[in-house]
A and B are shown apart, each in its own frame.
Chain A
Amino acid sequence: MTSLLIKNGFVFDPLNGVNGEKMDIAVENGKIVEKVNEAEAKIIDASGMVVMPGGVDIHAHIVGAKVNSGRLLRPEDHVKDVEPKTPVTRSGVGYSVPSTFTTGYRYARMGYTTVMDPAMPPLKARHTHEEFNDTPILDKATYPLLGDCWFVLEYLKQDRIEECAAYVAWMLKATKGYAIKLVNPGGLEAWGFGGNVRDIDDPVPNFGITPREIVRGLCKVNTLLNLPHTIHVHTNNLGKPGNYVTTLETMRCVEDLARDGKPVIHITHCQFSAFAGDDWRTFDSGTEPIIKYVNAHSHVTLDMGQVVFTDTTTMTADGPFQFLLYELSGNKWVNSDVETETCSGIVPFQYRRKSFVHSMQWSIAMELALLIQDPWKIFLTTDHPNAGPFTHYPRIISWLMSRKAREKILERVNKKTLRKSLVPTIDREYTLHDIAVVTRAGQAKALGLKSKGHLGIGADADIAIYALNPETTDLSRKPATVRKAFERAAYTIKDGNIVVKNGEVVNAPMGRTFWLNVDAPKAEIEISKILQQKFAEYYTVSYQNYPVPEDYLAVSAPIHVKAEVE
């Protein structure tokens, strides 16, 4: 493999304390190295450009059964946004639910190289991995939905944490998953009969366990198994006015489980969980108490779920919420329950500036991002495609970096929003260093991906170079320049290969799929016996056909984890 030398860029590498210093980055055999032989290396002149680690996305629905149903549902979404075939790329379509190849290319064009799919129904794990195999360039991983699995509910109800941990370890291996995902814990099981849970202490019908017990139980399991990421939680009551209370309680309920000030819970797309008010008419922002809490505690990380005013497709495993959205919008609706495990729903949705609720949602996510002091606690996402397609990240970056850009949006939003929103009072503008944290370094750190999100020696040579000169450009006054630079990376380098040049894909190798190979041998033998007995009773597929074999993954990248259970 050839070596690379990226010269004279303004390097932003927060994990290694590099803040815009002009320096060279050397690459050999796909890794960052101290130096290369300049005569042999390919030289990239990055003078006057920003150099960052490749972008990392902690939460974007890009593949799998639900995403694919979304694609099927929306031909009208694709027809206006097509990607023709080129000598190096496959053809495809956008917009809010792009086809797999297009997803890979579009992320790479923005300088992103690692993306996490956050919701895999375990029973349909093969589907997720098949689509991963057709998603080029990106390194990726997926979180199995475990918060409503019958096995989990039963073990936790009986307080058998160690057995639950063994089961989760088995599941992570069987589904080739990366983290424990909880979506509306307990509510999805209730949705099996069209119900839901009201709050985190409302027992799940037929199981008698409360969402609080599920969250706490799986949080303990996560610690026992030493998993690199925390539990990844989509709260109960998501998308309902007044739900900030539930969000606070969810964060509080694992406060005592934190160790050494490390995060133990990730509240995802927090915007959707930070609503105040009693109903849609009295709807309000519930960010203040959440911001206060997060600023005062270190056991939580969040991601934004920033709303973008556009036509998009909402899709979550939160079946009851999607049903609510269908009733609210009257749009077409897909629901898909998965036996013994989870469910999902899809509704196309348009976020409008002039809608009070939608523009408040825009404001809520901005308040979270701007008022939470520590950028290592909140990450930039749109919960793609729920609050907007990921292709809008550069726009959000420009909002975060420029008060002027935010004011321009506020000029055109609903007037009531303007009165209620805190955004007009906020002066804070993100620096490029902050941006590097919320779009890569912080996300990689939260995910425990040691070789991602930084440019230290030994890191994967995933690098993004943006044609943006922080010395000559007033970033806060030039949001459009910022946006354009982040939309089309001057270079994206993946494992030492140039994959994007001047915003065009020039090479599309297949990226890795990370999964956790959790080592818990004894417990596993025990658990596999129980599973074999129960499987025929619980599932309509056989135990032997359930796990995804490793050779199913185009580029398998197991991460070995030593559990604390035997």
Chain B
Amino acid sequence: MTVVSNVTCPVCGSLCDDIELVVENNRIVKVRNACAVGEAKFLGFADPHHRRVKPLIRKNGELVEASLDEAIRRSAEILAEACYPLLYGWSSTSTEAIRVGLELAEEVGGVADNTSTVCHGPSILSIQNVGIPTCTLGQIRHRADLVIYWGSNPWNAHPRHLERYTTFTEGRFQKSIWIRYLTKLQGLIGRKKAERAAELVSPRKEAMPQTEKVEGLPPPLKAEERKMIVVDVRKTRSAEIADYFLQVKPNMDYELLQAFRMAIHDRELDVDEVAGVPVELIEEVADVMLKCRFGMLFFGLGLTMTSAKIRNIDAAISLVRELNERTKFTIMPMRGHFNVTGANVVFTWQTGYPYAVDFSQGFPRYNPGETSAVDILARGDLDAALIVASDPVPHFPKKAVENLVKNPLIVIDPQVTPTSFMADVVIPSAFVGIETGGTAYRMDHVPLPLKKVVEPPETCLPDEVILRRILKEVRRLKGMRTA
């Protein structure tokens, strides 16, 4: 039995790096510090129901087992023959693999796109429009006395975000009443347990003196305390612990953001409510924003993928920019996949563009809407696809999926997914961050190492190695063709 500590969790963009794993006979048997989602992945990733370890190739309409060499050769043939292949995914693998993936995309003159195209793509376009004042997560822990979650529910989607970086943390300049409350609660629970144990060992006639009860939640809105505001279309678990909850009408975030921009500039809002939120509340919250020392606005897909999309983010970033004229304010997208930020980062340093990069003319070209995965698929422009660490079949529009599966399709993924069922070549890979190492970028662009904790099955290589072998084979084939 060995204990591996400081493991980075390969699940969400929070990238908690304090996970402790107990490993026995090449199996993870115990997980400490992780949230339910992380724990489930560490304990259950190897579940044979969701995993096949042998490569598959479609022959006569059936996926049949094949050798790795054969699968790599077939993949290389597909890519080398294609005129306009799509290489999509990348958000759940290491930056090392993405680097090779881009080299491959360039070699075959295809399009490389990552999952932010259907996720925080509008956020990125908006950053290109107006910029972004942001910071790392520790800055929030140390300094932020106001945290806003807009269209995002960290309690469920990034479960340890609150406890590691924001509301439930204490930093150098920012104390948290929650910490004291939670510590007290834990102390009480511990004492109760001890009492119960003592009771069992030597039962006493008289009842123990009553332990002190914790009355309700801590008093909110104390001036010196860190405040939390949640804006969402429904009352989420995150909203329950917030000091303010603003229930915005679906698809009306843009109006509310613009109302806030007016309110912070002391302009009159001559209506009773905006997007279902009373104007008095808007003005009150605008005051809270102006009066904070350091504010942070986290936004999720509830903002990027509702009606106005990019315009929502333009408005949110503009609001934050304007708040900076009066106080210190920052904004950050809540990124989902553990390395979607890394995918953007690597794409950008190699090609200048964060996603939807078209190499068909021999140099990087970027025009989301034209060179983005869904649009290429919907138009049916592609003639082959390589999907790495992603599952577009159940998530893309029907028309796009039809064109995806109509053409030769290669899937490199550690798991069995609906996309891999539809593929022509399936190459199972090692789980990044569990069976192989690498680098991933946290949602605030802090790079962290991923650890190899257990050995992968013999037939499952890391994505990076598989891609490198395909690239080598493609070059060999192309060399043959030109010769």
Contact = CB atoms under 8 A, between A and B. Distances in A.
A469 B293 CA distance: 62
A71 interface: yes
Contact of B447 (A69, A85, A124): A124
B324 interface: yes
Interface stretch (A257-265, A328-336, A451-459, A486-494): A328-336
B130 A539 contact: no
Contact of A337 (B136, B141, B348): B136
A73 B129 CA distance: 8
Contact of B349 (A83, A100, A124, A343): A100
Interface string A50-92: 0000000000000101001101111100110011110000111
A330 to B, nearest CB: 11
Given A82-B364, A99-B364, A193-B143, A542 B17 contact: yes
A339 interface: yes
Interface in B118-150: 124, 127-139, 141-143
B244 interface: no
A311 B475 CA distance: 39
B352 A75 contact: yes
Contact of B363 (A72, A93, A192): A93
A170 B124 CA distance: 36
Interface string B77-99: 00000000000000000010001
A130 interface: yes
A282 interface: no
Interface in B12-57: 17-18
Contacts of A99: 348-352, 364
B interface: dominant SS: mixed
Name, among A97, A336, A343, the residue most crowded by chain B CB atoms within 10 Å (CB to CB): A336
A542 B20 CA distance: 12
Contacts of A150: 172
A93 B294 contact: no
B138 A73 contact: no
A335 B320 CA distance: 11
Contact of B134 (A82, A123, A336): A336
Contacts of A331: 131
Contacts of B133: 333-335
Contacts of A194: 294, 324, 327-328
Contact of B348 (A68, A332, A343): A68
B181 interface: no
Contacts of B364: 78, 82, 91-93, 99
A158 interface: no
Contact of A72 (B8, B344, B439, B446): B344
A96 to B, nearest CB: 11
Interface in B338-356: 344-346, 348-354
Contact of A193 (B165, B328, B349): B328
Given A82-B363, A92-B363, A124-B445, A333 B321 contact: yes
A339 B350 contact: no
B135 A540 contact: no
A118 B141 CA distance: 28
Contacts of A85: 106, 359, 362-363
B380 interface: no
A261 B49 CA distance: 73
Contact of A84 (B124, B349, B362): B362
A244 to B, nearest CB: 28
B129 A84 contact: no
Most buried by B among A72, A134, A331, A537: A72
B362 A91 contact: yes
A527 B147 CA distance: 34
A72 B143 contact: no
Nearest to B361: A84
A323 B133 CA distance: 10
A544 interface: yes
A133 B361 CA distance: 25
Contact of A339 (B137, B327, B359): B137
Residue of B132, B143, B361, B364 contacting most chain A CB atoms (<10 Å): B364
B446 A123 contact: yes
B143 A130 contact: no
Contact of A83 (B5, B128, B345, B363): B363
B6 interface: yes
A272 interface: no
B117 to A, nearest CB: 15
Contact of B95 (A123, A130, A332): A130
A229 interface: no
A101 interface: yes
Interface in A199-220: 206
A72 B348 contact: yes
Interface in B345-393: 345-346, 348-354, 359, 361-366
Interface in A128-149: 130-131, 134
A526 B138 CA distance: 25
A100 B136 contact: no
Nearest to A70: B348
B330 interface: yes
A361 B345 CA distance: 33
Nearest to A127: B447
A347 B165 CA distance: 28
Contacts of A73: 127-128, 131
A541 B448 contact: yes
Contact of B352 (A78, A130, A332, A537): A78
B132 A334 contact: yes
A537 B346 CA distance: 30
B27 to A, nearest CB: 23
Contacts of A126: 439, 447-449
B294 A193 contact: yes
B324 A323 contact: yes
Contacts of B441: 127
A61 to B, nearest CB: 13
Contact of A127 (B129, B143, B363, B445): B445
B345 A540 contact: no
Give the most central of B136, B165, B325, B448: most A CB within 10 Å. Answer: B136
Interface string A531-543: 0000001111110
A91 B351 CA distance: 7
Contacts of A8: none
B421 interface: no
Contacts of A100: 349-350
Contacts of A82: 363-365
A297 B464 CA distance: 54
Contacts of A74: 128
B350 to A, nearest CB: 6
B164 interface: yes
Contacts of B366: 75, 78-79
Interface in B152-211: 164-165, 172-173
A92 B102 CA distance: 11
Contacts of A425: none
A539 B352 CA distance: 30
A545 interface: yes
Contact of B128 (A75, A93, A192): A75
B103 interface: yes
Contact of B135 (A339, A538, A539): A339
B327 A130 contact: no
Given A130-B439, A540-B137, A332 B363 contact: no
Contact of A101 (B328, B350, B446): B350
Nearest to B129: A332
Given A93-B364, A540-B141, A544-B6, A134 B330 contact: no
A83 B351 CA distance: 10
A139 B130 CA distance: 35
Nearest to A346: B131
B137 A92 contact: no
6 contacts: A73-B127, A99-B349, A131-B349, A193-B294, A335-B330, A544-B6
Given A92-B351, A542-B17, 5 more contacts: A82-B365, A192-B294, A206-B173, A332-B130, A339-B139
